[in-house]
Amino acid sequence: MTVDSAPRASKRHLLVNLARFGVVAAVIAIVAWRVDWSTMRLFFHPTSWVFLLLAVVANFVSVGGKLFAWKGVVDGLPQLRRRTRAGDFVRPVFIGFLFNTVLAARLGELVKVALLRRHMVGRGEEISMVALLGTIVVENLVGTLAWVLVVVGIGLFLPLPAYAWGASLAIGIVTAGVIAIAMATATGHQPLPWLREGSLIAKGIRAVIRLWGAVRESHIALRSPRQASVVGGASLGTWFAQWAGIDFALHAFGIGYVGWGGAGLLLVTITLAQAFPLLPGNLVVFQAAAVLPLTTSYGVPTSQAIAFAVVLQFTEVLVGVVTGFICLLIEGVSFGQLRREAEADAAEQAHAMRDPHPAP
């Protein structure tokens, strides 16, 4: 970074933080104006603590599904000599969840890749960060396609608004196309020679192609019916567990009358909102994605909807943050140290992708 670029980067960072603060302040002002605060006892006195506990358990099951889906993709990498162990994924997944919850950016994805690579190298498996990043992309693609299938299944039996159908089908078509192309072209070939050298634009193109190569090779696992069923089944299980967790939380706040259809609609809106992590933990955005459908489509009182939305996110945060910190202690590293290592690894991999053949 040059002397001139450092102040510009600092200024951009300041403006981004101010914009985030402005969004939060505006939403808090609107909530303070519209909400009947006398009903806020709902935060601490849900209708059923049993259903609230079931919602927490469902979120644990959901994270477990993502763990096994990712493991299924990694096990298909051609450079692996033997299958991975599920235990190698537990701490990376939960610590990654912690980072994604606490920080606005998706740094948790880099953190869990770095941790898994550390565990695999310790067992004698030499594998690059780029290859593991490719498996993360593939797991997310399969998870997205599984989400679309769940939404379509919900819509066939339960009422969903047109925007839920449109958004899910559009995302599903794009995702299925990417997966199909990647599976059909997974060959292990290196980038073309004319992409190995050249200008900054050429290096950027080369970086994208190298990452795409890792993503493409990670789809090899999906060519095996057995591995594809493991990855797809685990991904579907993740979304069904999240759907059940939302329904349990609705019952915990006496809103169970919206039914499985209402829980399905919240699964759609919350998932779409979480795709764009503007704030740490997607605070405010998450609540808005839950409150608006409940108040506009089902007539749920605003205060009750807000109490539900806050506690619903708490059940997810409880799974990620508490378990993530425990895993961080077991791993024997601090939050700051792991963050610095992940950022350094990201910078190193970005440089390696741009210049795979550095000059001596």
Structure tokens at 205: 């193109």
Whether the pLDDT of residue 31 is over 90: the answer is: no
So what's the pLDDT on residue 190?
A: 45
Which residue, among 301, 253, 299, 293, has the nearest Cα to 271 in the 3D structure?
Answer: 293
Least confident of 11-20, 155-164, 181-190: 181-190
Residue with tokens 């990201």: 346
Residue 290, classed as helix, strand or coil, is helix
Whether the pLDDT of residue 358 is over 50: the answer is: no
Read off the pLDDT of residues 316-348 as tens digits, 9 standing for 90 and up: 888 878 888 888 888 887 777 777 776 666 555
Which residue, among 272, 301, 302, 303, has the nearest Cα to 286 in the 3D structure?
Answer: 272
Q: What is the CA radius of gyration of the chain?
A: 22
Read off the pLDDT of residues 300-310 as tens digits, 9 standing for 90 and up: 888 888 888 88
* Surface-to-core class of residue 14, CB atoms within 10 Å of its CB (0-12 exposed, 13-18 middle, 19+ buried): exposed
Q: What is the pTM of this model?
A: 0.73
- What proportions of the chain, in percent to the nearest 5, are helix, strand and coil? 80, 0, 20
Segment 224-242 shows an average pLDDT of 88
Question: Cβ distance 346 to 207 under 8 Å?
Answer: no
Whether the pLDDT of residue 245 is over 70: the answer is: yes
* Percentage of the residues of the chain whose pLDDT score is greater than 90: 14
Read off the pLDDT of residues 165-193 as tens digits, 9 standing for 90 and up: 777 778 777 776 766 665 555 554 444 44
So what's the pLDDT on residue 195?
A: 42
Whether the pLDDT of residue 163 is over 50: the answer is: yes
- Contacts (Cβ under 8 Å, ≥6 apart) of 132: 74, 113, 116, 117
Domain boundaries along the sequence of the chain: 66-354
Question: Cβ distance 105 to 340 under 8 Å?
Answer: no
Segment 38-54 shows an average pLDDT of 71
Q: Which range has the top average pLDDT, 164-168, 196-200, 226-230, 267-271?
A: 267-271
Structure tokens at 342: 């992940």
**Any idea of the CA torsion for 298, 299, 302, 306, to the nearest 10 degrees?**
-10
So what's the pLDDT on residue 352?
A: 52
